[in-house]
Amino acid sequence: TMQAAIFDLDGVIVDTAKYHYLAWKRLAGELGFDFAPEDNERLKGVSRMRSLAIILEIGGIRLSEAEQAEWAARKNAWYLEYIGAMTPAEILPGVVPFLNRLRQRGIKTALASASKNAGLILEKLGIGPLFDAVVDGNAVAKAKPDPEVFVTAAARLGVPAGECVVFEDAVAGIAAARGAGMAVIGIGDPRILTEADLVIADFTRLNEALLTGEPSDAAL
Ligand code: G6P
Ligand code: MG
């Protein structure tokens, strides 16, 4: 039985992928190459520095560590500009009702994100109080697909891994959750998220299932 639900942030609670993409595209542009939307899938769930390494590889560019740190900081400043205007209206459909329903049932909730901006985003969205624990990119040493962020979230909640269900939109995140020994529900395309136990398009589907006690509910 599910005692805790652990949520990824980017792509699960809010679609920040489009802002990350805009900022990376701007960086690529300044370095003189194009960054296509298709390549963006590779960056989902991946840490800032690892994302930069992937982009530079795509552009065929080599930079010193100091230069990498500078470009990463520049990208983050642009990203912060984009998310600065974010409001609760950008919370993905069904998320808030689902979180409330879990809490009513006594199920613990946590956020487990690779992003160092997770705290700021939660503040912008006004949903910080809906999580019993928040573990972000500042709190862990090893990025997804390493299980550390999920293991840490479960420990903070005091729930064993086998009683946790993770909600993830990224291949790297699903691998991390599996590595932690947790069940995973993918949010997105089942053709991409092949390692998830179950894939749903969005949380409005899950809410219906929970209300009616239909098959997906059994998966929880
Ligand atoms: C999430 C996103 C990634 C992003 C990472 C780090 O996992 O899916 O695209 O690179 O967080 O985010 P940050 O806000 O710390 O740069
Ligand atoms: Mg994500």
**Residue whose CA lies nearest to ligand 1 atom number 12:** 115
Best probe residue, ligand 1, of 20, 52, 138 (max atoms within 8 Å of C-beta): 20
Name the nearest CA neighbour of 155 among 166, 146, 164: 164
CA distances from 26 to 23, 64, 88, 113 (A): 5, 20, 26, 24
User: In the prediction, which pLDDT does 207 show?
Assistant: 62
Name the nearest CA neighbour of 112 among 1, 216, 220, 13: 13
3-state secondary structure at position 76: helix
Indicate the annotated binding residues for substrate: 8-10, 24, 43-48, 51, 75, 113-117, 144
12 C-alpha vs ligand 2 centroid, how far in Å? 6
DSSP 6-61: EE-SBTTTB-THHHHHHHHHHHHHHTT----GGGGGGGTT--HHHHHHHHHHHHT-
Name the nearest CA neighbour of 12 among 156, 157, 111: 111
Give the position of tokens 């928040």: 134
Q: Is 36 left (phi over 0), alpha (psi -120 to 50) or beta?
A: beta
Show which residues are catalytic. 8, 10
User: In the prediction, which pLDDT does 219 show?
Assistant: 45
User: In the prediction, which pLDDT does 217 show?
Assistant: 46
User: In the prediction, which pLDDT does 38 show?
Assistant: 87
- 184 Cβ neighbours under 8 A, 6+ residues apart: 165, 166, 167, 168, 174, 177, 178, 195, 196, 197
User: In the prediction, which pLDDT does 210 show?
Assistant: 54
pLDDT tens string 163-219: 999 999 999 999 999 999 999 999 999 999 999 999 999 998 776 555 454 444 444
User: In the prediction, which pLDDT does 209 show?
Assistant: 58
User: In the prediction, which pLDDT does 215 show?
Assistant: 45
Tokens found for residue 149: 């962020």
16 C-alpha vs ligand 2 centroid, how far in Å? 9
Please state the φ and ψ torsions of residue 181, each to the nearest 5 degrees.
Answer: 80, 30
Name the nearest CA neighbour of 98 among 219, 218, 213, 202: 202
Cα 3 from Cα 162, distance rounded (Å)? 9
Cα 55 from Cα 205, distance rounded (Å)? 34
User: In the prediction, which pLDDT does 206 show?
Assistant: 76
In this prediction, the residues of the chain whose per-residue pLDDT falls under 50 are 211, 213-220
